[in-house]
Amino acid sequence: MCGIVGYVGRQKAASIMLEGLKRLEYRGYDSAGLAVLQDGDVALLRTTGRVAGLAKLASGKKLTGTTGISHTRWATHGGVTEANAHPHRSSDGRILLVHNGVIENYAAIKKFLLTKGYTFTSETDTEVLANLIAYHYAKEPASAETSRFLEAVRKTLLHVEGTYGIAVLSPAHPDELVAARKGSPLILGVGDQENLIASDVSALISRTQNVVYLKDGELVHLTPSGFTLSTLDLADVHPVIDTVTWSVDEAELGDHAHFMLKEIFEQPVALENAMRGRFAADGSTANFGGLNLSPADFRQIDRFVFTSCGTGWHACLVAEHLIERYARIPVEVDYASEFRYRNAPLDRDALFFVISQSGETIDTLAALREAKRKGYKCMAICNVVGSTIAREADGGIYQHAGPEIGVASTKAFTSQLLIAAMFALYVARMRDLSFADGVQYVAGLKAVPGLARRALAQAPRIQEIATRYAKYNDFLFLGRLDLFPIALEGALKLKEISYIHAEGYPAAEMKHGPIALISDQCPSVFFVPKGELFNKVVSSMQEIKARKGPIIAIVPEGLELPDGLADEIIPIPDCHEAALPILATIPVQLLSYYIAVARGCDVDKPRNLAKSVTVE
């Protein structure tokens, strides 16, 4: 959620950190700050609002220091004020710190520190950490000067309960940074005579593509010439340096007005990347190299459990429909935030799946760890190589969708849907799906990128519709079976970026309560399927039309609705049944985007939201 960028090297730290913070703006934040060591002192700048405001403050200062830390804050403890913004400084001035996460025992630590003469100027749990490090620093013997700073941080973290990703500096150690993580992501960037620390790879790639993903309980000590990695119990850690495979250009806006729009239009390529190399030579099934389970293992599985949060949870619901439809194996779907606490009984031969674009969502990570604690094999569908979930899962499937910057997920979601469809095929072919049906299924999935391009060609038409419907403050999204999760996703997208109240329901449930909302001021977006449910959905539409509710219908090409039933019709390409949720998603992404723009909303930085939720 919050963003961290730290730098130690030979260049001016402030400009490098500000560039990094700008690349982290998509994560969501309400204040920003930086601290730079120079001339034996500290330049500390903090402000509420955007990074642009911090950059303006910095432009009026002569910031020449080459060691610094910086932060964008998403408020947890304490309101949005300059005093609560990071970095925080210990009351004796010896320690400065930025922090992501929540310190659960901060109140007890604060009470102790008050008895030792330390004072506090903010409402945050982070300031407690700064003062506790200063306390341990003061206690360290002078003879241990070379390790005094690192040791003070280590001893402090032994007393901390909760989650943290921290970067720390001290005026007494002008060419050093110390960073550590537990439950909140941190990545080390390894450069030439410079090293960086950040909460997201996107903040590092303009300086280096060589990175080390810190694990929970690890500390790193950075200098311009190198770094050392260790654990809280003083064990040395041999670093594994990974190479980031995407470039800084992929995280740039280019000619698009917003990252969300850019990523909507990147979906055909993201879908191609999700499929690449993952179909069998005979064209009848999918292949996944990272699941680490044999076909015989899969034949022993009698239930799948899928869990995620937000948009990922909607992908889980689609996976449920597809796996049960084609592989005939029961699937249970749970909110990751609820799974750990409800002690759900699971079948002995269940396989656990988590879905997370970032691979760092704390609720999803906690659910994975709980399932592993109970002895279950855990798989992950994830977009970020090297992320915590990707490392801790027993196996999994990378999405290869490329960096997703927009807070409202688009290309990552449709990539998850495609992988769910491929996995359903993979398991079904091990069970009782025929070769001929498998070939037809694969052909249907291979057609998806091209069909997605055709769906995107409807953008001008959808923009016109959005302009007419941007005035409404309530929407319903209605679908059946595997299009019901897409109704949920459409409602979520509209809520996230336009702040319009929107709800998703199974179309047949509309008459069991939600129909009370229908009026000429509440449009309904219908996903109309082919086959046996067509007449059922048409009947639901007629019930809304009889109550003067405006209707936007998303309809496969060639499917005719009764005249006058829908006020607006958005056609999508006809496709294989397993691909329909993907193609039905694209119009509602565009509709939500263009409505938000028409209402003057900040699409890429929606209020109160963060891209990756790393606190409970």
**Of 26, 590, 28, the residue nearest 267 (C-alpha):** 590
Q: How many domains does the chain have?
A: 3
For residues 31, 197, 100 and 609, what is the CA-based torsion angle, rounded to 10 degrees? 60
Give catalytic residue positions: 2, 611
Do 318 and 431 sit in the same domain of this protein? yes
Cα distances from 397 to residues 302, 382, 393, 400, 425, in angstroms, run 21, 7, 10, 9, 14
Whether 522 is in a domain gets the answer yes
Q: What is the pLDDT of residue 439?
A: 95
Contact yes or no for 539/566 (Cβ under 8 A): no
Whether 433 is in a domain gets the answer yes
Do 396 and 319 sit in the same domain of this protein? yes
Q: What is the pLDDT of residue 300?
A: 85
Q: Give dist(CA 449, CA 510) in Å, integer.
A: 33
Whether 85 is in a domain gets the answer yes
Query: Taking each helix axis from N to C terminus, what angle separates 267-275 and 448-456, rounded to the nearest 10 degrees?
Result: 170
Q: Give dist(CA 34, CA 576) in Å, integer.
A: 52
pLDDT tens column, 458-471: 999 999 999 999 99
Do 200 and 309 sit in the same domain of this protein? no
Contacts of 465 (CB under 8 A, 6+ apart): 552, 568, 570, 591, 594
> In the listed set 194, 221, 248, which residue is the last one of a domain according to the structure?
248
Q: What is the pLDDT of residue 609?
A: 67
Which domain, by its residues, includes 269?
Answer: 253-446
Do 490 and 507 sit in the same domain of this protein? yes
Do 53 and 190 sit in the same domain of this protein? yes
pLDDT tens column, 577-594: 999 999 999 999 999 999
Q: Give dist(CA 170, CA 451) in Å, integer.
A: 56
Do 240 and 258 sit in the same domain of this protein? no
Q: Is the pLDDT of residue 610 over 70?
A: no
In this prediction the pTM is: 0.81
Q: How far is residue 353 CA from its own chain's centroid? A: 17
Whether 451 is in a domain gets the answer no
Q: Give dist(CA 242, CA 223) in Å, integer.
A: 20
Contacts of 151 (CB under 8 A, 6+ apart): 136, 140, 144
- How crowded is residue 413: how many other Cβ atoms within 10 Å of its Cβ? 32
At 282, the amino acid letter reads D
DSSP track, 159-205: T--B-EEEEEE-TTSTT-EEEEEEBS--EEEE-SS-EEEESSGGGTT
pLDDT band at 132 (very low <50, low <70, confident <90, very high): very high
Do 222 and 260 sit in the same domain of this protein? no
Q: Give dist(CA 386, CA 243) in Å, integer.
A: 10
Q: Give dist(CA 411, CA 311) in Å, integer.
A: 11
Cα distances from 297 to residues 294, 330, 377, in angstroms, run 5, 16, 11
> In the listed set 232, 248, 264, which residue is the last one of a domain according to the structure?
248
pLDDT tens column, 94-112: 999 999 988 999 999 999 9
Do 50 and 161 sit in the same domain of this protein? yes
Contacts of 255 (CB under 8 A, 6+ apart): none
* CATH code, domain with 267: 3.40.50.10490
Q: Give dist(CA 262, CA 346) in Å, integer.
A: 41
Query: Taking each helix axis from N to C terminus, what angle separates 435-446 and 411-430, rounded to the nearest 10 degrees?
Result: 170
pLDDT band at 564 (very low <50, low <70, confident <90, very high): confident
Q: Is the pLDDT of residue 126 over 80?
A: yes
* CATH code, domain with 121: 3.60.20.10
Do 433 and 567 sit in the same domain of this protein? no
> In the listed set 197, 228, 248, which residue is the last one of a domain according to the structure?
248
Do 206 and 297 sit in the same domain of this protein? no
Share of the chain above pLDDT 70, in %: 96
Strand partners, 177: 222
Q: Which helix (H) or strand (E) holds 71?
A: strand 67-73
pLDDT tens column, 263-311: 999 999 999 999 998 999 999 999 998 888 888 888 888 899 999 999 9
Q: What number of helices (H) and strands (E) belong to the chain? A: 19, 24
Cα distances from 199 to residues 4, 44, 130, 183, 323, in angstroms, run 5, 20, 19, 12, 35
Do 16 and 78 sit in the same domain of this protein? yes
Rg of the Cα atoms in the chain: 26
Q: Give dist(CA 411, CA 262) in Å, integer.
A: 10
Do 428 and 473 sit in the same domain of this protein? no
- Please report where in the chains the tokens 């007629």 appear, as a residue: 542
